[in-house]
Amino acid sequence: AEKSLTVLGLGDMGSALIRSWLAAGYAVTVWNRSARSAPNGASVAATAAQAVAANGLVVVCLLDDASVRSTLDDLDLTGRDIVNLTTSTPAEARALSDWIAARGGRFLDGGIMAVPSMIGVAGSGAYIFYSGSAELHEIHGAALAVPAGVTYVGADAGFAALYDMALLSAMWGMFAGAAHAFALIRGEDISPVDFAPLMVGYQQAMAGYAYGTAAQLVSGDYTEGVESNLAMMVTTNGTLLRTAAEQGVSPELLTPFMRLMERRVAEGGGRESNTGVIDLLRRQPALR
Ligand code: NDP
């Protein structure tokens, strides 16, 4: 197969993607809105239209959905295979998929689970969620496997973005907890460098709790296998808050989650784990 593709976007991520394809022997045509230096060996197109015309496979890695729309607007996408690696919402990805199909193109959306330095590095753990055209995922499988691992999550063009955003959301929760923990020890005679491995180890040990949550969501029994009941955890929350006050640390990252735990206990969920919090978060009933 012909090893060539176009990449729109020479930002940090776009450039990393381009370098990985160049290193794998692909001929890469690139375009960026403003003048930026392109990785050595890439062919720079003068316009987005020329870049899109140069190859059947067009990878887009711009800032957000609005920048993708304004860049692809007015371009001839007939027969183009558009792979969008720009972070978007699920609804934005679905709408973009329809918009591109209406213009004669095929669409695959991607959510990149890596930072640029992990791209094209074997063993880095980098992977990309893909969803949308199963055909594109098959046809371009070799090219897609170059920058990172490929995890195809279905024909719904919104699913890659949904998985991506769900994992990022989980990451913010972890970062928020770590920020609060560092704030607690800051100002004491405790080295953050010595503290970090203890915190990381504990976070890793606790991360597996999500398997139990998943099992409970499927069974519907939120008391199944509970060894840390919600009523006990809510009591512990008081100790966490008094500790924050003693250390002069704002509880603002923790309190929203604690309020939800309290609400669930007030509703009678004291013998459960904290799975019921998920139901409190949903403003609409689950689709299935
Ligand atoms: P950068 O800020 O480095 O680059 C942004 C790119 O978008 C530039 O090429 C910029 O062009 C272009 N751009 C911005 N606005 C417009 C516009 N209105 N029209 C046309 N082009 C526009 O971002 P990254 O490369 O880091 O990120 C790109 C995508 O990759 C984002 O969606 C990001 O969420 C995603 N991503 C990034 C990760 C990271 O760690 N960096 C990790 C996972 C995903 P110009 O040079 O002209 O401003």
Q: How far apart are CA 66 and CA 89, in angstroms?
A: 11
pLDDT band at 258 (very low <50, low <70, confident <90, very high): very high
Ligand 1 pocket mutation pick from 6, 13, 31 by most atoms within 8 angstroms of CB: 13
Is residue 87 within 6 Å of ligand 1 at its C-beta?
A: yes
Domain architecture of the chain: domains with CATH: 4-154 (3.40.50.720), 163-281 (1.10.1040.10)
Residue 53: C-alpha distances to residues 35, 39, 58, 69, 178 (Å): 20, 20, 9, 17, 47
Rg (CA), the chain: 23
| Ligand 1 site-directed mutation target among 12, 62, 129, most atoms within 8 Å of CB | 62
Per-residue pLDDT of 244-254, as tens digits, reads 999 999 999 99
Q: Is there an atom of ligand 1 within 6 Å of 36 CB?
A: yes
Ligand 1 and 12: CB distance under 6 A: yes
Query: Could you tell me if the CB of 13 is within 6 A of ligand 1?
Result: yes
Distance 44 CA to ligand 1 centre (A): 17
55 Cβ inside 6 Å of ligand 1: no
Closest CA to 190 of 255, 252, 247: 247
* 32 CB within 6 A, ligand 1: yes
Task: Give the 3-state secondary structure of residue 108.
Answer: strand
Query: How does residue 284 score in pLDDT terms, banded at 50, 70 and 90?
Result: confident
Q: Quick one: DSSP state of residue 127?
A: E
pLDDT tens sequence across 139-179: 999 999 999 999 999 999 999 999 999 999 999 999 999 99
For residue 30, name the pLDDT band (cuts at 50, 70, 90). Answer: very high
The rounded Cα 54 to chain-centroid distance in angstroms is 30
pLDDT number for residue 286: 67
Both structure tokens of 201? 């180890």
> Which amino acid, one-letter code, is at 272?
E
Give residue 166's pLDDT: 98
Looking at ligand 1, which residue's alpha carbon is closest to its atom 23?
A: 11
Q: Does position 136 have pLDDT exceeding 60, yes or no?
A: yes
pLDDT at 283 over 80: no
CB of 177 sitting under 6 A from ligand 1? no
Is any atom of ligand 1 closer than 6 Å to the C-beta of 115? yes
Q: Summarize the confidence of residues 210-235 as an average pLDDT.
A: 95
Q: Is the ipTM of this complex over 0.95?
A: yes
Q: Which residue has the higher pLDDT, 237 or 285?
A: 237
Tell me the C-alpha distance between 226 and 172, whole Å: 25
**Partners of 106 in beta bridges:** 81
| Average pLDDT of span 7-34 | 98
Ligand 1 atom with the shortest distance to the CA of 88: 32
**Minimum-distance ligand 1 atom for the alpha carbon of 36:** 46
Task: Give pLDDT tens digits for 55-76.
Answer: 999 999 999 999 999 999 989 9
Q: What is the dihedral of CA 213, 126, 172, 84, to 10 degrees?
A: -100
Reported as a single tens digit per residue, the pLDDT across 79-126 is 999 999 999 999 999 999 999 999 999 999 999 999 999 999 999 999
- Which residue from 19, 60, 63, 96 has its CB within 8 A of the most atoms of ligand 1, so it is best to mutate? 63
pLDDT at residue 288 is higher than 90:
no
